[in-house]
Amino acid sequence: MSAPATSPISRLWNGLRGGFRPAHRHAATFERVLGTTLDLQIVAGTEQQARLAQQALLDEIDRLEQTFSRFLPESELNRWLATNTPTTVSLDLGEMLRQALHWQALSGGAFHPATEALSPLWKEAEASGVTPDVSAVLDEMAGPLYTVQEQAGRWTAERLTPLPLGFNAFAKGYVADRAAEAAAAVPGVTGVLVNIGGDLRATGPQGVQVDIADPFTLADNAAPLCSIQVQGQGVATSGRARRGFLVGGQWHSHLLDPRSGQPAGGVVSASVVAPDSATADVLATVFSVLSPHESLRLAVNLPGVACLLVTEDRQIHTSSRWDQYQTAPPPSHIPTRHEVHHD
């Protein structure tokens, strides 16, 4: 699994809250997990239960890394990518492949599993100083990528394209979901909070405070743009403030629009609340590519989804559900215009 972009979420939680008196609260941080940092909190009846939950969580992450990693040569994903015939795949990989096609269609191509085929062209452009010709790759991306089907609990997938395929737009969120659920299933555990490199998933009845970072401020100790509180949901933010391509003296976002092959523009940061982390993860990427109007129209038609978008002109656009999560509005000194899009 490739290392993720730095998340604009600077302070992901301030503790598990609510009318809740835990017997034991456990917190831990692990580095170099899926190429990033893992933060977790577990609330359980005893320390032993919390430790068992932590181990279940770490075991699930290790298992799924063996499934989805692009860095591990023998991962299931890499072994499948080396085939060109119908192949039996695991439930996790089959579901990932199915979801990727679903989001590609639902987003109108703003999410595309073969987007990473464009990145080498832009990296070469940094050296040459000339904007790349992406037309040939776009033509290939327009063709079928793979087929995936499930029958009687058995998943089969066949790769149809030579293009590289990647699922990082929601694989990390998927792992966060499964890891949190594995920990929550341990007897005595009443709350879990998992943050894998900015993809957050909470379980349990207590509220979790999430601070959304100001994308125009790089300092880690800067005041947040705003704060929200969620309960048993996923949160993700995608932004382009710290990574990109420098071509001919002009800076471009590292987020590429798979519909045009060009760097995404307009949206500097997209934060999403969704029923699970995988959905929040992929939509944060999609909403960084689509125009704010397109994103807000899509968000209001997806159950349990809310978003906040920050554009280059420092305007803030929120979907109609966002207000129910926001607990602290943007500071008055930040020059923003608040826009709410309803159904």
Mean pLDDT on 78-98: 97
Give the lowest-confidence range in 36-40, 113-117, 207-211, 329-333.
Answer: 329-333
**What proportion of the chain, given as a percentage, has pLDDT over 70?**
88
Cα distances (angstroms) measured from residue 279 to each of 53, 87, 120, 194, 238: 24, 26, 27, 15, 13
Q: Which of 87, 140, 81 minimizes the C-alpha distance to 112?
A: 140
**What proportion of the chain, given as a percentage, has pLDDT over 90?**
74
Q: Which of 80, 5, 55, 14 minimizes the C-alpha distance to 35?
A: 5
Residue 342 has pLDDT above 60, yes or no: no
Mean pLDDT on 65-79: 96
Q: Which of 75, 303, 53 minimizes the C-alpha distance to 188?
A: 53
For residue 315, give both structure tokens: 């305007």
C-alpha–C-alpha distance, residues 148 and 168, integer Å: 18
Q: 214 vs 146, which has greater pLDDT?
A: 146
Task: Please say whether the beta carbons of 307 and 299 come within 8 A.
Answer: yes
**The pLDDT of residue 7:** 44
Mean pLDDT on 81-110: 97
Task: Please say whether the beta carbons of 42 and 189 come within 8 A.
Answer: yes
Residue 234 has pLDDT above 50, yes or no: yes
Q: Categorize the per-residue pLDDT at 333 as very low, low, confident or very high, splitting at 50, 70 and 90.
A: low
Task: Please say whether the beta carbons of 237 and 272 come within 8 A.
Answer: yes
**The pLDDT of residue 19:** 41
Beta bridge partners of residue 17, listed in sequence order: 207
The tens digit of pLDDT for each residue in 281-319 reads 999 999 999 999 999 999 999 999 999 999 998 899 999
Task: Please say whether the beta carbons of 158 and 15 come within 8 A.
Answer: no
Residue 18 has pLDDT above 60, yes or no: no
Cα distances (angstroms) measured from residue 96 to each of 28, 103, 167, 229, 311: 28, 11, 8, 28, 30
Task: Please say whether the beta carbons of 110 and 61 come within 8 A.
Answer: no
